């Protein structure tokens, strides 16, 4: 979901110099849990980077709690109560809220309602989810969309967005949404169909098709507000730029790509955000001289002080994270260690997946190729079923012919894995060394991890 329409230019494009927060005060009812966890559940609009932090807070008497979360932009968040109960909502910078989370077991999702100041903004997303499920029930959504081609699927997503806009305006007649949030939502509904269609085209391996490209980018134009606020707009823009540059090929010659973007007819803001996103791919480069060369090219083309700061801070933060990282051993997690200690002496490639997770299943052919390339090496492939049912988990294993070591995680083991690896969703991949040391909590997927695994295996 994402964003906007321009109200006051200077306010919308003047980004805050200090970190912003949201304080949540609340109560959890109908639950025996002693703590709950908050997780940001979307990408940063400009950088496209997912936060991987989990924020746990203990529950006091009668389920009461309060927590301060870092919220620098309007963003979707998730709250977990236990391993199988959750809810999703939107937080807005500096809009503190008081909420009640009802964890009564009537389905996976709970009911979270705000009261007092900012309640209208907070409660809209619950209203939206309820209306959306009534219009397009989860149980029938896949059946309705699986056979649609890309054109039909885009049309279907646009119909959903039109319905969403209608819901938004109906809600606004009764509740006082702020202009900031209203504009954010309108922009979300404008661009989300294209992002959904891009994901569908990628899954159907049609993403390089010239006709599909024309279909998905025909309405793309300058939108400075969306460039600094909308994940969906920036994903569409990134697709357009990469396709036009070299038909989505890798590796990308950064100097030529920078020149290409700079010479397009988009506004300076839009082009600068595109280049900022691309810089995120290099924030983890170990070679300082190579990074500095790329960063110098970036600085020559981008004059936006806030974007320069985002790139600089991201690089520093990534390097600090590496230098301050404490090597941990899987033995820290008692339950998981009982499973994994039998593989001591081998590199372990953990794959957290679920039968309901489409991206997880799409990666399984790549996983099969990876297993074949590493056959006979000191690498073991362990597949952890995550928040799944035994029947569907086993059926999907058989259907996809997933070879390896399989374990369906219990609620307790899911909690343990979430805490140790800071899992916010699946698929998630983890690499554990031969001595049980955690090498990577968020490793590359099967199509990009071979070189790292073979080096570790041959040590």
pLDDT digit string (tens) for 81-95?
987 788 999 999 999
126, 157, 182: which is the final residue of a domain?
Answer: 126
Q: How far is CA 189 from CA 98, 232, 297, 429, in A?
A: 27, 9, 35, 32
Same domain, yes or no, for 274 and 355? no
| Whether residue 61 is found in the same domain as residue 105 | yes
Task: Tell me the torsion sign for CA atoms 309, 310, 311, 315.
Answer: positive
- The predicted-structure confidence for 366-397, as pLDDT tens digits, reads as follows 999 999 999 999 999 999 999 999 999 999 99
User: Is residue 267 assigned to a domain?
Assistant: yes
The string of pLDDT tens digits covering residues 198-256 is 999 998 889 999 999 999 999 999 999 999 999 999 999 999 999 999 999 988 898 89
- Look at residue 3 and tell me if it is in a domain: no
Residues 314 and 334 reside in one and the same domain = no
Q: How far is Cα 274 from Cα 223, in angstroms, rounded to an integer?
A: 12
Q: Which residues contact 186 (CB under 8 A, 6 or more apart)?
A: 3, 4, 5, 165, 168
Q: Is the pLDDT score of 3 beyond 60?
A: no
Listed residues 322, 340, 369: the one ending a domain: 322
Same domain, 56 and 151: no
**Alpha-carbon gap, residue 142 to 36, rounded angstroms:** 31
Does residue 317 belong to any structural domain of this protein?
Answer: yes
| C-alpha 50, offset from chain centre | 5
**Strands 86-91 vs 75-80: parallel, antiparallel or unpaired:** antiparallel
pLDDT of residue 234: 97
- CA dist., res. 356 & res. 24, Å (int): 31
The answer to the question of residue 167 being in a domain is yes
| Separation between Cα atoms, residue 173 and residue 287, nearest integer Å | 55
Same domain, 201 and 289: yes
Q: Same structural domain for residues 204 and 304?
A: yes
Q: d(Cα 232, Cα 237) in Å, to the nearest integer?
A: 9
CATH of the domain at 338: 3.40.30.10
Q: Residue 326 has what pLDDT?
A: 62
- Same domain flag for 167 and 309: yes
* Stronger pLDDT, 21 or 129, i.e. the higher one: 21
The number of residues making up the chain comes to: 459
pLDDT in tens, 262-279: 999 999 999 999 999 999
**107 and 144: one domain?**
no
The CATH number that applies at residue 80 is 2.60.40
294 and 377 share one domain: no
Residue 179 makes CB contacts below 8 A (sequence gap 6+) with 7
pLDDT at residue number 344: 92
> What is the pLDDT, as a whole number, of residue 6?
29
Last residue of a domain, one of 82, 100, 126: 126
Domain that holds residue 203: 140-322
Is there a contact between 192 and 103 (Cβ–Cβ < 8 Å)? Answer: no
Between CA 355 and CA 405 the distance in angstroms is: 16
In a domain, 76, yes or no: yes
Q: What is the pLDDT of residue 319?
A: 84
**Pairwise CA distance, residues 363 & 54, whole Å:** 25
Confidence of residue 324 (pLDDT cuts 50, 70, 90): low
Task: Taking the CA atoms of 322, 326, 329 and 330 in sequence, report the sign of the dihedral they define.
Answer: negative
Task: Please list the alpha-helical segments (H only) found in 119-230.
Answer: 119-135, 138-145, 150-174, 179-203, 210-217, 224-227
**Which pLDDT value is given to residue 318?**
82
Query: Are 166 and 294 found together in one domain?
Result: yes
Are both 187 and 309 inside the same structural domain? Answer: yes
Omega prior to 119 cis, within 30 of 0: no
Q: What is the pTM of this model?
A: 0.83
In the block, residue with structure tokens 């646009």? 158
**CA 197, CA 203: separation in Å to the nearest integer?**
10
Q: By the 8 A CB rule, do 237 and 270 touch?
A: yes
Dump pLDDT digits (tens) for 145-189: 888 999 999 999 999 999 999 999 999 999 999 999 999 999 999
Cα 282 to Cα 49, 299, 442, distances in angstroms: 12, 14, 16
CA distance 200 to 194: 10
User: Within a domain: residue 159?
Assistant: yes
Q: Determine the Cα–Cα distance for residues 221 and 211; give it in Å rounded to an integer.
A: 18
Q: How far apart are CA 164 and CA 132, in angstroms?
A: 8
In a domain, 11, yes or no: no
* Total domains present in the chain: 3
Dist. CA 351–CA 368, nearest whole Å: 12
> What secondary structure letter does DSSP report for 77?
E
End-to-end CA distance of the chain: 45
| Judgement on whether residues 275 and 410 belong to the same structural domain of the protein | no
Q: Is residue 191 domain-resident?
A: yes
The mean pLDDT value for 421-431 works out to 91
Q: Which is more confidently placed, 428 or 13?
A: 428
């Amino acid at each position: 979901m994402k964003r906007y329409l321009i109200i006051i230019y200077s306010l919308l494009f003047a980004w805050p110099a200090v970190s912003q927060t949201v304080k949540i005060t609340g109560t959890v009812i109908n639950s025996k849990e002693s703590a709950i966890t908050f997780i940001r559940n979307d990408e940063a609009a400009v950088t496209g980077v997912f936060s991987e932090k989990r924020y746990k807070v203990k529950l006091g008497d009668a389920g009461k709690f309060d927590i301060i979360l870092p919220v620098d932009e309007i963003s979707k968040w998730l709250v977990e109560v236990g391993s199988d109960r959750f809810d999703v909502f939107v937080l807005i910078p500096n809009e503190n809220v008081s909420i009640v989370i009802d964890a009564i077991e009537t389905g996976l999702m709970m009911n979270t309602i705000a009261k007092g100041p900012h309640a209208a903004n907070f409660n809209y997303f619950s209203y939206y989810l309820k209306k959306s499920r009534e219009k397009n029930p989860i149980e029938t959504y896949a059946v309705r969309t699986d056979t649609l081609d890309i054109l039909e699927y885009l049309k279907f997503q646009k119909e959903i967005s039109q319905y969403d806009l209608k819901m938004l305006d109906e809600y606004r007649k009764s509740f006082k949404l702020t202009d900031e949030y209203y504009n954010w939502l309108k922009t979300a509904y404008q661009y989300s169909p294209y992002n959904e269609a891009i994901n569908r085209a990628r899954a159907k391996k049609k993403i390089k098709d010239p006709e599909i490209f024309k279909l998905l980018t025909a309405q793309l134009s300058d939108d400075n507000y969306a460039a600094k606020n909308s994940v969906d707009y920036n994903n569409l823009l990134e697709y357009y730029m990469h396709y036009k540059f070299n038909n989505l090929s890798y590796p990308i010659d950064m100097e030529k790509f920078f020149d290409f973007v700079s010479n397009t007819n988009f506004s300076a803001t839009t082009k600068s955000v595109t280049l900022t996103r691309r810089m995120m791919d290099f924030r983890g480069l170990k070679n300082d001289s190579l990074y500095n060369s790329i960063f110098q090219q970036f600085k020559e083309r981008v004059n936006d002080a806030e974007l320069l700061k985002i790139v600089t801070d991201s690089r520093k933060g990534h390097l600090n994270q590496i230098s301050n990282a404490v090597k941990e051993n899987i033995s820290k997690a008692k339950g998981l260690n009982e499973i994994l200690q039998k593989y001591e002496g081998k590199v372990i490639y953990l794959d957290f997946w679920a039968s309901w997770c489409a991206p997880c299943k799409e990666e399984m052919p790549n996983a099969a190729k990876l297993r074949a390339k590493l056959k006979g090496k000191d690498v073991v492939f362990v597949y952890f079923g995550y928040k799944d049912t035994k029947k569907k988990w086993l059926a999907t294993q058989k259907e996809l012919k997933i070879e390896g070591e399989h374990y369906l995680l219990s609620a307790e083991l899911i909690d343990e894995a979430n805490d140790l690896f800071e899992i916010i969703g699946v698929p998630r991949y983890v690499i554990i060394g031969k001595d049980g040391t955690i090498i990577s909590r968020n490793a590359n997927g099967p199509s990009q991890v071979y070189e790292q695994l073979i080096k570790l295996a041959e040590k």
